[in-house]
Amino acid sequence: MIRIRPAQLRDCNELVLLCHELGYATSAESLTQQLAQLQLHPDHAVFVVEPIDGEQQAIGGWVHIYLHCTLQEGRQAEIGGLVVSQALRGQGVGKQLMQQAEAWAQQQGCHGIVVRSSVQRSEAHQFYQRVGYREIKRSIVFLQPIA
């Protein structure tokens, strides 16, 4: 049995391990700073999943969602990241995290949720389709570093 709750700074060591599972090179210090900043903005939310069976176990996954408003599309939410531990994949944990994100987006008055997923993550694409998302376009992402 699991429960989903807002992420807390004390979760960061476990959250960074989940990031590493998917190949994101981040440190606990960096992730703690990022989460602290996000918690100052009501247009962002981070939820974690943890077991409630009475045993002390690691956080099993997290989802970051934030408001995204553009001139042409209006107010939507966007998934900033979704990670479920390898040990819990295929057990409905990701779907529950997405449902929590969807409920949050609805409370914020959004009319949709955007999810971006790297082209090589075909398992993630299949997951999003299974939980009701549909592909609307493909794009290339550019980055301009700012010093």
Interacting residues of 121 by C-beta distance below 8 A, sequence separation 6+? none
Is 11 buried (19+), middle (13-18) or exposed (0-12) by CB count in 10 A? Answer: buried
Three-state DSSP class for residue 94: helix
59-113 pLDDT per residue, tens = 999 999 999 888 888 889 999 999 999 888 898 999 999 999 999 999 999 989 9
pTM score, whole prediction: 0.90
Instruction: At 29, list the tokens.
Output: 């210090």
pLDDT of residue 55: 54
Q: List the CATH code of the domain at 2-130.
A: 3.40.630.30
pLDDT at 46 over 90: yes
Q: Where are the domains of the chain?
A: 2-130
